Amino acid sequence: MAFERVGVVGLGTMGAGIAEVFARAGLRVIGVEADAEALARGRGHLERSTGKAVDKGRLAPEQRDEILGRITLTTSREDLRDVDLVVEAIPEILDYKISLFKDLDRICEPGTVLATNTSSLSVTAIAAATGRPGRVVGMHFFNPAPVMKLVEVVGTVVTEPGVVADVTALAGRLGKTAVAVGDRAGFVVNRLLLPYLNHAAALMELGVAGRDDIDAAMRLGVGLPMGPFGLLDLIGLDTAYEVMGVLFDETRDRRHAPSPLLRELVTAGLLGRKSGRGFYGESGAYDGGAPHREQARSRLGTFKVVGYEDEGDGLAERLRAAGFKPSEDPDVVLCLADRPVIEHAVRLPDPARMVGVHLVGEQVAELASTALTSERAATAARDLMKIVGLTPVPCKDRAGFVVDALLFPFLNDAVRMYDAGYASIEDIDAAMRLGCGYPAGPFEMLESFGLARVRDGLRALYTEYREPAFAPASLLDQLVTADVSEFPRR
């Protein structure tokens, strides 16, 4: 089936982005909002987004006029009577969606495909409320819709043969890659992404590290386009909270219980970019009460590097090259480690001087303070890292520090998702690369880190936090035992 005329209901950030995507691909779009005020807001989103593209020289003014000219805005759903496809992007409240779909079912031709952009609600429940459940699918775009290249196409047990293929072909015409998935809470991306974001909020609440440090670690250390708190602000804290709630209802996994911090911020109206204020924001932000970072410079003195091998142009060499003296009675003992360092610290004459150092990628040094580390040693370690060009990420001396603690459970979840037969390795990797701009998918990351390192890191996390979901997935464990370094591809 070819789709030429489409309707988009709901012109918030996502709906307006989706309407723009269709219009850019040459389709005629009817955008529907509830009232004149909401319609004006939707028009504003469209004009700003295409206007920015013109300012950047990515779009000629006449092209922008053509794109906007393909979009008709209305407050009447009845105007959708002749479209081939409707995509719904209204708030994530099942009752609202069901009532809308009943209406669309009455208004649109029987052959029209009705799609929901729901992040997590049951597509089956929405489909079942209509007289055409076989022609109702999920079409899940990613924020910002004009930029992110993924669409998850969600079929249900009652979807008619061919409909998923037609919508997949349409996604291709829009310049997107489609991944066809079944109707499970969170589909592929949100099922993997949101627990990771929720976990970041939990680590901040536990005081393992502060907002800026966690964000910097994930951006600069792992190469993600945004840190978890910046991304939560983009997605919307209310949306994240709702998705977590739906995930928890389906899995009863306590890691999926929405972080109390998210609830508090949502209740306080700190929703992220959409309300101008969330974890970040010009009109105030929430940083978890982390101590102010720019403290007085330490009186940098002598150092000693211990721990795992540090040869060649390693940390000790870089510090020496920067003019610092190694000493047997140093001001700060930098213990290179990927595990908590308290056991090493207590063997020193003065444990207060030890700081754990975990280098992540080329740019980040996680700096673990134990319960005994002095403020002076922690500050000195931070300043030394800056001098050798590394971004310091101060954190508590806990298993996985920041990056491994956030990343490894996410990788473990991806293995479990594959092992459960929900999606292929290729689809999971593509979904995270294209939907979230990850530099590599979870299986690609697992293979580049080394399966054994991730398995061992998960065991350490499990031992520390006693969280059942941190226990390595059986498949991962088996591959490591069999000394296999790659996942079996199709």
| Positions that interact with ligand 3HC (CB under 6 A) | 49, 52, 56, 58, 119, 142-144, 146-148, 190, 193, 225-226, 231, 235, 239, 435-437
119 labelled catalytic = yes
Nearer to ligand 3HC by Cβ, of 162 and 175: the residue is 175
> CA 474, CA 487: separation in Å to the nearest integer?
13
198 labelled catalytic = no
Write b or e for each residue in 76-95: b if 16 or more Cβ atoms lie within 10 A of its Cβ, otherwise e.
Answer: ebebbeebbbbbbbbebeee
- Phi/psi for 382 (5° steps) reads -60, -45
At 6, is the secondary structure helix, strand, or coil? Answer: strand
> CA 347, CA 466: separation in Å to the nearest integer?
26
Nearer to ligand 3HC by Cβ, of 239 and 373: the residue is 239
Question: Shortest approach of ligand 3HC to residue 195 CB, angstroms?
Answer: 13
> CA 105, CA 111: separation in Å to the nearest integer?
10
Nearer to ligand 3HC by Cβ, of 168 and 239: the residue is 239
The length of the chain, given as a count of residues = 490
- Phi/psi for 116 (5° steps) reads -115, 140
Nearer to ligand 3HC by Cβ, of 14 and 367: the residue is 14
At 109, is the secondary structure helix, strand, or coil? Answer: coil
> CA 299, CA 374: separation in Å to the nearest integer?
14
Among candidate residues 152, 198, 344, 358, the one labeled active-site is 152
Question: Shortest approach of ligand 3HC to residue 92 CB, angstroms?
Answer: 9
Per the CB < 8 A criterion, the answer to whether 404 and 338 are in contact is yes
Write b or e for each residue in 318-355: b if 16 or more Cβ atoms lie within 10 A of its Cβ, otherwise e.
Answer: bbeeeebeeeeebbbbbbbbbbbbbebbeeeeebbbbb
Neighbour-count burial of 147, counting CB atoms closer than 10 A to its CB (0-12 exposed, 13-18 middle, 19+ buried)? exposed
Nearer to ligand 3HC by Cβ, of 108 and 224: the residue is 224
Question: Shortest approach of ligand 3HC to residue 390 CB, angstroms?
Answer: 22
Nearer to ligand 3HC by Cβ, of 225 and 260: the residue is 225
Quickly tell me which residue has 């349409």 as its tokens. 170
Question: Shortest approach of ligand 3HC to residue 473 CB, angstroms?
Answer: 23
At 435, is the secondary structure helix, strand, or coil? Answer: helix
Which DSSP string corresponds to 383-399? HHHHHTT-EEEEEES-T
Question: Shortest approach of ligand 3HC to residue 477 CB, angstroms?
Answer: 30
247: left (phi over 0), alpha (psi -120 to 50) or beta: alpha
Among candidate residues 119, 198, 275, 412, the one labeled active-site is 119
> CA 396, CA 414: separation in Å to the nearest integer?
27
37 labelled catalytic = no
> CA 69, CA 75: separation in Å to the nearest integer?
17
Question: Shortest approach of ligand 3HC to residue 193 CB, angstroms?
Answer: 6
Question: Shortest approach of ligand 3HC to residue 436 CB, angstroms?
Answer: 3
Nearer to ligand 3HC by Cβ, of 48 and 299: the residue is 48
Nearer to ligand 3HC by Cβ, of 27 and 368: the residue is 27
Question: Shortest approach of ligand 3HC to residue 424 CB, angstroms?
Answer: 20
Among candidate residues 140, 199, 344, 358, the one labeled active-site is 140
256 labelled catalytic = no
Residues with a catalytic annotation lie at 119, 140, 152, 190
